Amino acid sequence: MKSKKKLRLSKGTMAFPYFAVSVLFVIVPLVLILVYAFTDASGNFTFENFARLGAASSWKSIIRSFLIAFFTTVICLLLSYPTALALTKIKASKRMIILMIFIMPMWINSLLRIYAVQLFYADTLGMEKGFVLTLIGMVYDFFPFMLLPIYTILADMDKMVLEASADLGAKPAETFFKVRLPLSMPGIVSGALMVFMPAMSSFAVSDILGYDGGSATFLDGKLFGNVIYYYFERGNYNSGSALALLLLVLILFSTFLSNVLTKGKTARKGGTIA
Q: How far apart are CA 12 and CA 73, in angstroms?
A: 40
63 binds another protein (CB under 8 A): no
Site for another protein in 24-43 (CB under 8 A): 24-30, 32-33, 36
CB of 152 to another protein, least distance (A): 14
Give least dist CB 83 to another protein, A: 5
Nearer to another protein, 71 or 224 (CB): 224
10 binds another protein per the rule CB under 8 A: yes
Work out whether 201 is an interface residue with another protein (CB under 8 A).
Answer: yes
Residue partners of 192: CB distance under 8 A and separation at least 6: 73, 77, 146
Write out the H or E segment, with its range, that includes residue 51.
helix 48-53
Say how many CA atoms lie within 13 Å of 86 toward its Cβ.
Answer: 10
Strand, helix or coil at 45?
strand
Contacting residue, 49, 247, 262, 266, with another protein by CB under 8 A:
247
270 near another protein (CB under 8 A): yes
Q: Which residues contact residue 17 at a Cβ distance below 8 angstroms, ignoring those fewer than 6 apart? A: none
Q: What is the 3-state secondary structure (H, E, C) of 66-103?
A: HHHHHHHHHHHHHHHHHHHHHHHHCCHHHHHHHHHHHH
**Site membership for another protein, residue 102 (CB under 8 A):** yes
* CA neighbor of 129 nearest in space, from 209, 216, 215: 209
- Binding another protein by CB under 8 A: which of 78, 108, 166, 260? 108
Shortest Cβ distance from residue 167 to another protein (Å)?
16
CB of 91 to another protein, least distance (A): 9
Q: Does 214 bind another protein (CB under 8 A)?
A: no
